[in-house]
Amino acid sequence: MRETELIRKIRDIANQRGHPRWLRVGVGDDCAVMTPRRNRDLVFTSDYSIEGRHFTLTTHSAADIGHKALARSLSDLAAMGADPLFCLVSLAISANQNEAWIESLYKGLTRLGARFGIVLAGGDLAKGERITVDVMCCGDVPRGRALLRSGSQPGDDIFVTGELGAAAHGLVTKRGESWNRQKRPEPRVEVGRKLHRLAHAAIDLSDGLSLDLRRLCEESGVGARLGGELPIAKGATLEQALHGGEDYELLFTAAKRSRVPPQIAGIAVTRIGEVTNEVGKVSFKGRLLEPLGFDHFR
């Protein structure tokens, strides 16, 4: 298989659904070219997905890997309240992946992307020791309206979308709906799009509620008191809901007076506590909540 042929195939997959007008040049040239939309700020994020860390070849199909790699970055766009625009995908493969496997990865990725209007606009291909997928996503928000981690205010209510602990539970059981959630997370893009009017601050739950909430509190210079019932996924434990990673739900805070509906874009939204002025202190039902979520460098 020659690289030029492979790139032509990837270009076909990327262009299957046509280009939006603002993307002047997509896959195939040295760079992608886009014209930013008026009165919008661009937001960027990139995420690694690494064999043995985020997926394994025995448990995840190529399409699963493509889906999950993009979902991780889309979840970051959702947390900023952004509309997804385009992604660049840099893929390193080891010696064992054939052309069909590579195509399947891009198809899994673009199938998820099509649901949220994000276009594969370029990237890179290389051989490596292990499979590594680096997905850079660009989105945009109304000017000045990007939803930051730093905007929480004491007295805000704290909300999460969906259910917690499913991905951690799935990692243990390797079957059922929670395993599916672990392999193919659902980025809350549609919820995020509606949050930049409603919320003061948001973060996506990639590394676990306890750790990600701590990060948001640190950026905002606030504390948090969790009291209410957590929306725990079916079969998951309280520990998995508090500390399990990779749920990719959104956590956001909003002023008490703002009317946060029980569902946004069809996804349940649950109030789980409130923001306090005790800087850096996070408690759950009266006890200090240690940030035991997943920390890559601990």
Closest CA to 55 of 131, 165, 164, 126: 131
- Please identify which residue in the block is written with the tokens 């198809």: 107
Burial of 272 (0-12, 13-18, 19+ CB in 10 A): buried
* Residues 100-139, mask of contacts with Mg ion (x by CB under 5 A): ----------------------------------------
- How do strand 40-50 and strand 132-142 relate by DSSP bridges? antiparallel
- The one segment of 5-13, 76-84, 191-199, 219-227 that binds Mg ion by CB under 5 A: 76-84
Minimum distance, C-beta of residue 157 to Mg ion, in the bound complex (Å): 21
Minimum distance, C-beta of residue 101 to Mg ion, in the bound complex (Å): 28
Taking the least distance from each CB to Mg ion, the nearer of 190 and 278 is 190
* Residues 151-190, mask of contacts with Mg ion (x by CB under 5 A): ----------------------------------------
- The one segment of 20-28, 93-101, 203-211, 284-292 that binds Mg ion by CB under 5 A: 203-211
Minimum distance, C-beta of residue 215 to Mg ion, in the bound complex (Å): 9
- 76, 140, 163, 186: which one binds Mg ion (CB under 5 A): 76
Report H helices in 174-230.
Answer: 176-183, 189-195, 209-220
Taking the least distance from each CB to Mg ion, the nearer of 86 and 248 is 248
Report the SS3 class of residue 218.
helix
- Please identify which residue in the block is written with the tokens 């990779």: 246
Calpha distance 284→229 (Å, rounded): 10
Neighbours of 84 (CB within 10 A): 25
Minimum distance, C-beta of residue 207 to Mg ion, in the bound complex (Å): 8
- 204, 246, 247, 274: which one binds Mg ion (CB under 5 A): 204
- The one segment of 10-18, 116-124, 197-205, 286-294 that binds Mg ion by CB under 5 A: 197-205
Minimum distance, C-beta of residue 206 to Mg ion, in the bound complex (Å): 5
Per-position b or e across 35-58, b if 16+ CB within 10 A of its CB? eeeeebbebebebebebeebbebe
Taking the least distance from each CB to Mg ion, the nearer of 186 and 204 is 204
Minimum distance, C-beta of residue 294 to Mg ion, in the bound complex (Å): 12
Taking the least distance from each CB to Mg ion, the nearer of 26 and 293 is 293
Calpha distance 114→108 (Å, rounded): 10
- Interhelix angle 176-183/166-173, rounded to 10 degrees, is 110
Report the SS3 class of residue 256.
coil
Token digits for 62? 């190529």
Taking the least distance from each CB to Mg ion, the nearer of 177 and 190 is 190
Please list, in sequence order, all residues whose beta carbon lies within 8 angstroms of the beta carbon of residue 59, skipping any fewer than 6 positions away: 174, 183
* Residues 33-72, mask of contacts with Mg ion (x by CB under 5 A): ----------------------------------------
Is residue 212 a contact residue for Mg ion (CB under 5 A)? no
Token digits for 112? 């998820």
Q: How many residues of this chain interact with Mg ion, rule: CB under 5 A?
A: 2
Token digits for 204? 């996506």
Taking the least distance from each CB to Mg ion, the nearer of 74 and 102 is 74
Point out which residues bind Mg ion (CB under 5 A).
76, 204
